[in-house]
Chain A
Amino acid sequence: MQAFDILYYDGKTSVSHQASLVLERDHWLIQFDQEFEKQTVRWDITQVERDMSFTSLFIFRYGDFPRETLECKDENLLTELKRLYPEKAFFEKKFNALLRQNTTVLVGLTLGLIGILLVSYFYVLPWFSEKAAEQIPVKTEIALGETMFENMISHYQKNDSLTARVNDFVKEIDFKTNYPIKVTVVREDDMNAFALPGGNIIVFDKILGKMKSADELAALLAHEVSHVHYRHSLKNIFRSLSGYLIISLLFNDINGITAILADNSNMLLNLNYSRKLETEADEKAVEILKANGLNLNGLVQLFTLLGSEASKAATIKLLSTHPLTTERIAYAKKVSSQQNAPVKNENIEKKWRAIEAERIK
Chain B
Amino acid sequence: MEINHSDTRQVSFHGEGSKLFGIYIVNLLLMLFTFGLYYPWAKAAVLRYIYQETEFEGSRFAFHGTGKEMFKGFIKAVGIFLVIYAILILAVWSQNNVILSLGMLTFYAAILLLIPVAIHGALKYRMSRTSWRGIHFGYRGELKEFVQEFVIGGLLTIATLGIYSFWFTVKLRKYIFGHLRFGNIGFAYNGDGTEYFKLHVKGYFLSLITLGVYFFWYVKDLFAFFIDNLEMNQEGNVLKFRSTATAGGYFKLIAGNLLIIIFTLGLAAPWATVRTINFIFSNIVIEGALDTDKIQQTEMDYRDATGEDISDMIDIGLI
Instruction: Please measure, in the bound complex, the distance between the C-alpha atom of A52 and the C-alpha atom of B29, giving whole angstroms.
Output: 19
User: Given the complex of chains A and B, what is the CA–CA distance between A66 and B303 in angstroms?
Assistant: 11
Contact in complex: A52, B134 (CB < 8 Å): no
- Determine whether the beta carbon of A257 is less than 8 Å from that of B26: no
Flag if B29 contacts A109 (CB, 8 Å): yes
Which of B45-53, B99-107, B119-127, B220-228 is near enough to bind chain A? Answer: B45-53
CB atoms of B297 and A12 under 8 A apart: yes
Choose one: A53, A68, A106; the contact of B25 (CB below 8 Å): A106
Using Cβ atoms and an 8 Å threshold, which residues of chain A touch B144? none
Determine whether the beta carbon of B133 is less than 8 Å from that of A16.
yes
Interface pairs (27), CB distance under 8 Å: A11-B134, A13-B294, A13-B295, A13-B297, A14-B135, A14-B294, A14-B295, A15-B133, A16-B59, A16-B133, A53-B52, A54-B19, A54-B23, A54-B53, A55-B14, A55-B53, A59-B62, A65-B302, A69-B133, A95-B26, A95-B41, A98-B26, A106-B22, A116-B32, A254-B272, A257-B258, A258-B266
**A78 to B294 CA separation, bound complex (whole angstroms):** 32
Q: How far is the CA of A265 from the CA of B262 in the complex (A)?
A: 11
B237 at the interface (CB under 8 A from A): no
Let me know if A65 and B273 touch, CB within 8 A. no
Instruction: List A residues at the B interface (Cβ < 8 Å).
Output: 7, 9-16, 51-55, 57, 59, 65-69, 95, 98-99, 106, 109-110, 112-113, 116, 250-254, 257-258, 261-262, 265
Q: Looking at the complex, which one of B261, B292, B315 makes contact with A14 (CB distance below 8 Å)? A: B292
Instruction: Knowing that A258-B269, A262-B266 touch, tell me 6 more A-B residue pairs with CB under 8 angstroms.
Output: A14-B134, A15-B294, A16-B133, A52-B45, A54-B23, A54-B45
Q: Least Cβ distance of B262 to chain A in Å?
A: 6
Assuming the contacts A16-B59, A66-B136, A66-B300, asked whether A110 and B52 have C-beta atoms less than 8 A apart, the reply is no
Among B14, B41, B136, the one with the most A-chain Cβ atoms within 10 Å of its Cβ is B136
Q: Are A113 and B133 in contact (CB under 8 A)?
A: no
Q: CB-CB < 8 A to B266: which residues of A?
A: 250-251, 254, 258, 261-262
CB distance from A47 to the nearest CB of B (A): 15
Query: Would you call B296 and A51 a contact (CB within 8 A)?
Result: no
Q: How far is the CB of A227 from chain B (nearest CB, A)?
A: 26
Contacts of A69 in B (CB 8 A): 133-134
B211 within 8 A of A: no
Within the complex, the shortest CB–CB distance from B32 to chain A, in Å, comes to: 6
* In the complex, residue of chain A having the shortest beta-carbon distance to the beta carbon of B14: A55
Residues of A within 8 A of B19 (CB): 54
CA distance A51 to B48 in the complex (A): 9
Chain A residues, Cβ within 8 Å of B295: 13-14
Q: A281 → chain B, closest Cβ, in Å?
A: 30
Known A-B contacts A11-B297, A52-B45, A251-B269; the reply to A65 vs B303 at CB < 8 A is yes
**A113 and B62 contacting across the interface, CB-CB below 8 Å:** no
Residue with the highest number of chain B CB atoms closer than 10 Å, among A13, A54, A68: A54
Cα–Cα distance between A251 and B262 once the two chains are bound (Å): 12
CB of B297 within 8 A of CB of A66, answer yes
The 5 nearest A-B residue pairs measured at CB: A9-B134, A14-B295, A69-B134, A14-B133, A65-B302
Tell which of A14, A54, A65, A265 touches B52, judged by Cβ atoms closer than 8 Å.
Answer: A54
Residue ID in chain A nearest B41 by CB atoms:
A95
Q: A11-B134, A16-B133, A66-B297 are in contact. Are A261 and B22 (CB under 8 A)?
A: no
B25 contacts across to A, CB distance below 8 A:
106, 109-110, 113
Q: Give the shortest distance, in Å, between B200 (CB) and chain A (any CB).
A: 19
Contact A68 B269 (CB under 8 A): no
* Candidates B52, B134, B183, B262; contact of A10 at CB < 8 Å: B134
List of B residues within 8 angstroms of A16 by Cβ? 58-59, 133, 293
Known: A98-B26, A113-B28. A14 touches B183 (CB 8 A): yes
Query: Considering the chains assembled together, what is the distance between the CA atoms of A68 and B136 in angstroms?
Result: 12
A31–B301 Cα gap in the complex (Å)? 30
Asked if B265 lies at the interface with its beta carbon under 8 angstroms from chain A, I say yes
Question: In the complex, are the beta carbons of A253 and B269 less than 8 A apart?
Answer: yes
> Is the pair A261, B265 in contact by a Cβ cutoff of 8 Å?
yes
Q: Is the CB of B52 within 8 A of A253?
A: no
Q: Which residues of A contact B41 (CB under 8 A)?
A: 95
Say whether B132 faces chain A, with CB atoms less than 8 Å apart. yes
Whether B261 pairs with A66 at a CB distance below 8 angstroms is no
Q: Which residue of A lies closest to B63 (CB)?
A: A51
Residues in chain A near residue B240, CB distance under 8 A: none
Of chain A, the residue at the smallest CB distance from B128 is A65
- Contact in complex: B26, A13 (CB < 8 Å): no
Q: Which residues of A contact B134 (CB under 8 A)?
A: 9-11, 14, 66-69
Given the complex, which residues of B lie within 8 Å of A59, measured CB to CB?
62
Chain B residue at minimum C-beta to C-beta distance from A66: B297
Chain B's nearest CB lies how many Å from the CB of A104?
13
| Minimal beta-carbon separation of A239 from chain B (angstroms) | 19
B45 touches A95 (CB 8 A): yes
Assembly CA distance A15 to B269 (angstroms): 37
How many whole Å from A114's CB to the nearest CB in chain B?
Answer: 9
B314 to chain A, nearest CB (A): 13
Residues of the B chain whose Cβ atoms lie less than 8 Å from the Cβ of A51: 48, 62
Verify B273–A253 contact, CB threshold 8 A: yes
Interface centre among B19, B62, B134 (most CB of A within 10 A): B134
CB under 8 Å from chain A, chain B span 107-140:
132-136
